[in-house]
């Protein structure tokens, strides 16, 4: 079997350090209970829940497992919203619906780590907690209230003062911060491979390099067509995230794609690890130009960033991210770059997850908004409930029709301008 780095055209730290990919064998059926389009976290989690319920399920992946966002992220397991807090969600939704959604999102990390234990997935899982340091006094007060709101919802969230955050990170620039003890980190590609093996163990079929060409309704069933084959099914689940080719365009064009670069350094020394991550907790602060870092099992630092100008970005971002890590964390020496890779995240206009109905028995889910691992665990579970015919009014995320964003092709330009503005705002906050 070829190495993971050879299998995937975009090598990452995870392809270099993952175990072997799962064996995908068996012929495609002519009929099954459910077809899942997309073999990332959302699609495989949906398929796993369906297989656990005794349904015959087929997963069709246009590329290879891990070639999309599920294999390209940094492995942070964060159970909250990137750009919304409980108060914001309650403003946008009726109180009961909002609290149900908040409960769903808040338990996302627990769902991930529970699945890892239940399916015995070896993926460097570490539920050590997640830190969100506050940049500036005003943001510290916002996080203090956010911690109260999550605590009232029964989540293990606490506000830490500036001294406690300094002890956790070795950084003196923060005014306090939030810790969610249910968060943590994983090796995302090994987690994805583990989900795939769990689906296969329960009789599910997974096929790579199987781009769906058409999905058409025929009487009371659906016909899913791909090169040289057609599958009849009762339910279709679209789990293609930010992709916009072919059938994936129905969902991918409803959000703003963000090209995110991830950088892994060479391993750092144990003394520095003890200073900047004594409890090995992943960090993501509140600056508009987000500063994040975590450690992998070999003490490589992993961080990321975006590029205002994509030309030559790989080399430039690699240097810039390592320079920032060295400066912010006051590293005793500049670590070398192990590898730089990139993937595409997607943001919904309101920063909340979306569930779409494309027809009777044809559903899709999207909208992790930078919280892909924890959110996909819950999206997959909810999509499985839809596929199993559970009442729609019991869902924490209302179903809606998909509508592509106007001028979707221009959204990368808008994202670049927003990044430039974010860096300016962080500079102004720092001066104050």
* Selection from 130-144, 381-395, 404-418 with the highest mean pLDDT: 130-144
How does residue 428 score in pLDDT terms, banded at 50, 70 and 90?
Answer: low
Residues of the chain with CATH 3.30.70: 256-347+422-431
Judge whether residue 384 has pLDDT over 80.
Answer: yes
- Mean pLDDT, rounded, for 131-153: 96
Q: What is the reported pLDDT for 406?
A: 63
Judge whether residue 113 has pLDDT over 80.
Answer: yes
Length reported for the chain: 432
Judge whether residue 315 has pLDDT over 90.
Answer: no
Indicate the class that CATH gives domain 13-73+188-255+350-401. Answer: alpha beta
Q: Among 124-138, 193-207, 342-356, 407-421, which stretch is predicted with the lowest mean pLDDT?
A: 407-421
Classify residue 126 by its DSSP letter. Answer: B
Residues of the chain with CATH 3.50.50.60: 13-73+188-255+350-401
The residue ranking higher by pLDDT, 195 or 90, is: 195
Q: What is the reported pLDDT for 1?
A: 39
Judge whether residue 135 has pLDDT over 80.
Answer: yes
**357, 401 contact by CB (below 8 A):** yes
Instruction: For the chain, give the percent of residues with pLDDT over 90.
Output: 69
Judge whether residue 422 has pLDDT over 80.
Answer: no
Q: What is the reported pLDDT for 228?
A: 85
DSSP string, 166-221: HHHHS-SS-S-EEEETT-EE--HHHHHHHHHHHHHHTT-EEESS--EEEEEEETTE
* Selection from 21-25, 165-169, 423-427 with the highest mean pLDDT: 165-169
pLDDT, tens digit (0-9, with 9 covering 90-100), for 44-78: 999 999 999 999 999 999 999 999 999 999 999 99
- Mean pLDDT, rounded, for 1-28: 79
- Mean pLDDT, rounded, for 97-119: 94
How many whole angstroms separate alpha carbon 345 and alpha carbon 259?
6
Can you list the pairs that 392-397 forms with residues at least 24 positions away whose Cβ atoms lie under 8 Å? 395/355, 396/97, 396/100, 396/101, 396/103, 396/104, 397/101, 397/104, 397/352, 397/353, 397/354, 397/355, 397/365
Indicate the class that CATH gives domain 256-347+422-431. Answer: alpha beta
Judge whether residue 5 has pLDDT over 70.
Answer: no
Q: What is the reported pLDDT for 199?
A: 98
Tokens found for residue 204: 């599910």
- Mean pLDDT, rounded, for 202-227: 95
Taking the model in full, what pTM does it have?
0.92
pLDDT, tens digit (0-9, with 9 covering 90-100), for 261-307: 999 999 999 999 999 999 999 999 999 889 999 999 999 999 998 87
Classify residue 29 by its DSSP letter. Answer: P
Beta bridge partners of 423: none
Judge whether residue 407 has pLDDT over 60.
Answer: no
How does residue 164 score in pLDDT terms, banded at 50, 70 and 90?
Answer: very high
Q: What is the reported pLDDT for 155?
A: 96
Mean pLDDT of the chain: 89
Judge whether residue 202 has pLDDT over 90.
Answer: yes
The residue ranking higher by pLDDT, 305 or 411, is: 305
Cβ neighbours of 429 (radius 10 Å): 15
How does residue 26 score in pLDDT terms, banded at 50, 70 and 90?
Answer: confident
Q: What is the reported pLDDT for 7?
A: 54
Q: Which residue has the tokens 């930078």?
A: 370
- Mean pLDDT, rounded, for 325-354: 91
Judge whether residue 249 has pLDDT over 90.
Answer: no
How many whole angstroms separate alpha carbon 362 and alpha carbon 332?
55
Q: What is the reported pLDDT for 357?
A: 93
């Amino acid at each position: 079997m070829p190495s993971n780095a050879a299998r995937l055209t975009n090598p990452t730290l995870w392809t270099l350090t993952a175990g072997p990919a799962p064996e995908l064998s068996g012929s495609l059926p002519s009929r099954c209970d459910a077809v899942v389009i997309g073999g990332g976290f959302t699609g495989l989690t949906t398929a796993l829940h369906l297989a656990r319920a005794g349904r015959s399920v087929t997963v069709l992946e246009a590329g290879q497992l891990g070639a999309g966002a599920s294999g390209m992220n940094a492995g942070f397991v964060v159970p909250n919203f990137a750009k919304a807090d409980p108060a914001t969600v309650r403003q946008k939704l009726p109180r009961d619906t909002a609290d149900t959604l908040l409960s769903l999102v808040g338990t996302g990390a627990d769902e991930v780590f529970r699945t890892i234990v239940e399916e015995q997935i070896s993926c460097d899982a570490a539920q050590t907690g997640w830190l969100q340091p506050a940049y500036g006094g005003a943001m510290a007060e916002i996080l203090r209230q956010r911690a109260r709101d999550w605590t009232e919802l029964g989540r293990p969230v606490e506000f830490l003062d500036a001294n406690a955050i300094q002890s956790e990170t070795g950084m003196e620039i923060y005014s306090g911060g939030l810790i969610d003890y249910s968060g943590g980190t994983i090796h995302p590609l090994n987690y994805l491979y583990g989900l795939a093996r769990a689906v296969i163990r329960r009789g599910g079929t997974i096929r790579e390099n199987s781009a769906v060409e058409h999905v058409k309704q025929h009487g009371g069933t659906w016909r899913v067509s791909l090169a040289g084959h057609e599958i009849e099914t009762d339910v279709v689940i679209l789990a293609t995230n930010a992709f916009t080719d072919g059938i994936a365009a129905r969902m991918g064009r409803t959000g703003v794609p963000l090209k995110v670069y991830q950088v892994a350094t060479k391993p750092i020394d144990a003394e520095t690890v003890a200073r900047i991550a004594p409890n090995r907790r992943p960090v993501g602060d509140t600056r508009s130009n987000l500063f994040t870092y975590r450690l992998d099992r070999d003490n490589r630092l992993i961080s990321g960033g975006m590029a205002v100008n994509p030309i030559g970005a790989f080399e430039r971002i690699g240097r810039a991210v390592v320079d920032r890590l060295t400066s912010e964390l006051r590293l005793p020496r500049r670590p070398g770059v192990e590898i730089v890779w990139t993937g595409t995240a997607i943001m919904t206009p309101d920063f909340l997850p979306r569930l779409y109905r494309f027809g009777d028995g044809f559903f899709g889910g999207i909208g992790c908004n930078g919280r892909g691992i924890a959110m996909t665990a819950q999206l997959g579970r909810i999509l499985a409930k839809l596929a199993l015919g559970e009442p729609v009014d019991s869902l924490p995320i209302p179903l809606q029709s998909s509508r592509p964003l106007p001028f979707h092709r221009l959204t990368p330009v808008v994202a670049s301008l927003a990044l430039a503005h974010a860096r300016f705002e962080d500079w102004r906050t720092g001066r104050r």
